[in-house]
Amino acid sequence: MIQGIYLDNSMAARPSDRAVSQMLPFLTDMWGSPSSPHLKGQELFPAITESYKAIYALLGAKESDDFILTSCGAEGINQVILSCFYNVTRISGKNQLVTSHIDEAPAIMAMGRLETMGCVCKMAEAAPSGMITAQAIADTITPRTALISLSWANALTGVINPVAEIARICKERGILFHLDATHVLGKLFFDLEEVGADYITFNGDQLHAPKGTGGLYIKAGVKCAPLILGGSEQAGYRGGSLNVPGLVALGAAAQEALESRDFVCTEIARLRDKLENGVVEAYPEASTYFQEQDRLPNCTILTFPGIANEALLYALNRKKVFASIGGGSLQQAGLILKACGINETLAQTALSFSLSRETTEEEIDNAIEIIADAAKRLSKLRISESN
C-alpha cells in the first residue's frame, strides 16, 4: 500500500472505516437477494431501510422523492440524459440539451451521442469567475431546450455554480434540471427545496464510500426512465439485483458526511487556505484562483508559471504528494482555466489539490514545503512563456 499526502480527493476519497465495516456483514453473512421472498432475502430489509434514510437525510430529500442506487455517478448521469430523450424529446420534440464546456465527461459524452439521434447539444460558457452563470445558461436556452445538466461545483477549481438561480430559469421555461452533486455532498450546506433540481446524481467514491456506488435522486412527480431495464427492482427504475452491501456502505458514508460537514466547511477550509497561502508564500510565482468565489471548502487550483503541470505532478508523485491535473471523467485542469479566460500557456501549468476530512495540518505543512521545493527545482527547466 502506498502512503503519502493524498490531495486528490476529488477523484477518489478513502472509503471510511465505518462504511467498510458496516458493509462487511452484507458480504459475508447477509448476502441474499432482497428479491427472494424468503427469510434469506427478507432479512436484508431493516438495513436497506436504514441506509435509504441516511441517504435521504444527506440529500435533504422528502419521503415522496425517489432515490435509485446506481453503480457510479456516470450511470445516473447517463440515465437522466437518456431518460430525457425517451420521455421528453421523442414525445414533445424538444431536442436541445445543455451542459457546460467545463462539465465532466459523462454529461458531455452522453449528450454528444444523442446528437446522432437528432438532438442538439449546447455548451454554456464558463465565466472568468469560474462559474457557469445563470446568464450563460439563459443564453443557450431556446423553446426546444429539454434538459440542463450541470456539475453543482467544479471538481478541480471548487467553484460552486448558482444552481438555485439556474433552477428558477428551468422551472419558468419548463426545462428539466439535473445536478451532479458528487463534489458538494458533505461539503456544502443547502436546502434541497431551494435548489430545486429535478434530478441529482452523485458518485460514492468522493463521499468516502467504496467504488461501485452512486445515487440518483428524482424529485417527487418527475418521471425517469430506466437505463438498465430488467425487473421490478428499485421500483423498476433500475433492474438487476440490488447491491445491498454497496447501499449499506453508501448509507454509512452519507451519515458520516452529514456529521462531518461542519468540520469540512470550517477546519478543512482553513487547511485548504493554509495550503494556498503557504505555497504562494514559499513560491511567490504561483497563483491561486477563485478565492473570492463561492467555492468548495476542500479544493484549490494553482498555476506555476513556466512549469508544465505534468512535470510538477510527476515530481510531487515522487515525493508522495498526490495532486491532480484532471483526467478520467474529469476535465483537464488546463482546459478549465483556459475556458475561464486564463492565458493558455499559464493554464497548462495548473494543478488542483483536493483535501478530505482526513487531511491533517501536518500533511498540509509538509505538502507546502514539497510543492514549493519541486516548483523551485522545475522552474530552472522552464517551458518558454511564448510557447
Interface residue with a copy of itself among 43, 125, 285, 373 (CB under 8 A) is: 43
Interacting positions 257-316 with a copy of itself (CB under 8 A): 313, 316
Q: How far apart are CA 131 and CA 136, in angstroms?
A: 9
Question: How do strand 96-100 and strand 145-151 relate by DSSP bridges?
Answer: parallel
* Rounded Cα distance, 307 and 45, in Å: 55
* Nearest CB to a copy of itself, comparing residues 21 and 49: 21
Span from 138-146, 210-218, 256-264, 273-281 in contact with a copy of itself (CB under 8 A):
210-218
Write out the binding residues for a copy of itself, residues 138-177 only, by CB under 8 A: none
Q: Does 25 bind a copy of itself (CB under 8 A)?
A: yes
Q: Which of 135, 243, 287, 293 binds a copy of itself (CB under 8 A)?
A: 243
Q: Which of 93, 128, 174, 327 binds a copy of itself (CB under 8 A)?
A: 327
Nearer to a copy of itself, 87 or 345 (CB): 87
Does position 245 bind a copy of itself by CB under 8 A? yes
Say which amino acid occupies 352: S
Contact between 387 and a copy of itself (CB under 8 A)? Answer: no
Site for a copy of itself in 180-209 (CB under 8 A): 203, 205
| Binders of a copy of itself in range 94-133 (CB under 8 A) | 104-106, 109-110, 112-113, 116-117
| Contact pick of 120, 228, 258, 269 for a copy of itself (by CB under 8 A) | 228
Residues written for the chain: 387
- The DSSP secondary structure of 184-221, one letter per residue, reads TTTT----HHHH--SEEEEEGGGGTPPTT-EEEEE-TT
User: Which residues have CB under 8 Å from 86's CB, separation 6+?
Assistant: 225
Q: Say if CB 339 and CB 25 are below 8 A apart.
A: no
Residue 47 in grid coordinates:
438495513
| Residues 6 or more apart whose Cβ sits within 8 Å of residue 236 | 226
Nearer to a copy of itself, 142 or 241 (CB): 241
Q: Among 57, 192, 242, 383, indicate the residue that binds a copy of itself (CB under 8 A).
A: 242
- Phi-psi domain of 306 (left: phi exceeds 0; alpha: psi -120 through 50; beta: other): left
Residue closer to a copy of itself (CB basis): 106 or 297: 106
